[in-house]
A and B are shown apart, each in its own frame.
Chain A
């Protein structure tokens, strides 16, 4: 179901005109009201009038998380506190938390984004939405809450915790939709199994999961164990909160609310924009936000964009599921490589969380080599040598096809790769750079 077809299925030409108009307003707004932006624009010799086409976005400076820390608490707010209706903040384990603000119009926009999200997963008026995202400074709980209300659904604002009770209420209320983190969904599934409750028999139909990285394998597990459609929802508080992008029921990427946010993919090293389809760092510019607009905010999330129209009818660009963070990037023979890309290949082949390690080395004549060590799990082990050799070849070919550089693959015994605190060290870089 499409909540707002006139926006979500808008002709791309018309969408680009709308984006252009809104981008110009936003650039003017931040230039006049946020000192940090004025300073940065001035330093580059740019005035709001220089932004004449969407391509001119490239002229604008990036914003990074540290900028938001340095201006703690309200330095990036573009309106006076009289106009601010709500404040959220990240938990921030190190340094200052990231503080973001919303005008009542921003909250409206946000509710619209979530209403589109929930609707894309089949939520309708009359449905009961079990909202187990945390309520509070975190954007998850209230973000979903307002969107579900906007859609006309009945919200159960249960927040996190007390899982036994959650399972009980899911059953007693006959909730149709659940919203929480993917790992919490699995936990609920386990608790239900313990209570010998067959979740598949409940009216529960769909779940909207986000706020932490997850995989296609997890999606399958959740769908099987809860008997629902498991949909991916993406967002970050710096840009707005949940609802920046969302799966439709085809689950082929996440539709970005492009009338509110302009996405870009850049090379994380050079900062140069990359063409559609290429993998790089996701960058967002908000174009409707009043209280806390951001210009070219670097999310550090790794993904790629597709502008092809989806079979669901939406024209909004789709981002692939976030596959990693820029912090993990490797450069080998001039090619940017993310361990998560290799992980996704192994996941496809092994159908389970793979254990692997990347060994990067440099030979004479400064040729970098990449060796992929794969632990042979019972899933992929065969007692026939030709099958093991075929497996090794398949892994190598698929990684090479994806990365465009040659690699070697080594099959190793389980527990070869050292794990500390349950997490394996993924990269051994032996190069002396």
Chain B
């Protein structure tokens, strides 16, 4: 159920992001979702791609420090408050959401968000009860 996210340590200097995207393009890897968290000096780039294993291999070869994390991709109703409802639901159940970002693609009328949380299985069960479906990893990579 969980989706593999690749996080990359990047210094805030020009050209690094371009370099990284070129490496992925050369290997015909498509970026499905992306977010950046940063301080003045450095940032963490979080990526979801269609071929995570290949992407990890190429980035490591190129000398990037990376780590893989499992995240949850979730379809939520594309309306105001849609995301807030989900977060409240999780936090009421004691599941802490580390961070969240939006997915580029869409599924029918629903938006897709990426959630980083500790207890993925527990969250999936809880959300299912409330009619919210996690998007299977294969679908995400194929989108």
Residues of A within 8 A of B (CB): 376-378, 381-385, 388-389, 410-416
**Are A414 and B42 within 8 A (Cβ)?**
no
Whose C-beta in chain A lies nearest to the C-beta of B46?
A: A383
A-B pairs, 8 with minimum CB distance: A383-B7, A376-B9, A385-B37, A381-B65, A415-B63, A376-B65, A413-B11, A381-B67
Residue of B nearest to A412 (CB): B11
Question: What are 19 A-B residue pairs whose CB atoms fall within 8 Å in the complex?
Answer: A376-B9, A378-B65, A381-B7, A381-B9, A381-B67, A383-B5, A383-B46, A383-B69, A383-B116, A384-B98, A385-B37, A385-B38, A385-B44, A388-B44, A413-B9, A413-B11, A413-B64, A414-B65, A416-B11
Main secondary structure of the interface of A (DSSP, over half): loop
Contact at A411–B44, with CB atoms within 8 Å?
Answer: no
| A389 x B39 contact (CB < 8 A) | yes
Q: Flag if B39 contacts A385 (CB, 8 Å).
A: yes
**Chain A minimum-CB-distance residue to B42:** A411
Rounded to whole angstroms, the CA-CA distance of A385 and B40 in the bound complex is 12
List chain A residues, Cβ under 8 A from B9: 376, 381, 411, 413
Interface of chain B: mostly helix, strand, loop or mixed: strand
Cβ contacts under 8 Å, B44 to chain A: 383-385, 388
B10 interface hit (Cβ, 8 Å) = yes
Taking each of A382, A383, A411, which has the highest tally of chain B beta carbons within 10 Å of its own beta carbon? Answer: A383
Contact for B42 among A382, A384, A388, A415, CB less than 8 A: A388
Task: Name which residue of chain A comes closest to B5, CB basis.
Answer: A383
| Closest beta carbon of chain A to B115's beta carbon, Å | 13
User: Which residues of chain A have C-beta atoms less than 8 A from B135's C-beta?
Assistant: none
Contacts of A415 in B (CB 8 A): 63
Judge whether B41 is part of the interface by a CB distance below 8 angstroms. Answer: yes
B66 within 8 A of A: yes
| A residues less than 8 Å from B46 (CB atoms) | 383
A384 to B, closest residue via Cβ: B98
Complex CA gap A377/B67 in Å reads: 10
Instruction: Give the nearest-CB partner of A411 in chain B.
Output: B42
Instruction: Verify B67–A382 contact, CB threshold 8 A.
Output: yes
Closest A residue, CB atoms, query B71: A383
Residues in A whose Cβ lies below 8 Å from that of B42: 376, 388, 411-412
Q: How far is the CA of A420 from the CA of B67 in the complex (A)?
A: 28
Q: Which of B14-46 contact A (CB under 8 A)?
A: 16, 37-39, 41-42, 44, 46
Instruction: Looking at the assembled complex, report how far the CB atom of A216 sits from the nearest CB atom of chain B, in whole angstroms.
Output: 24
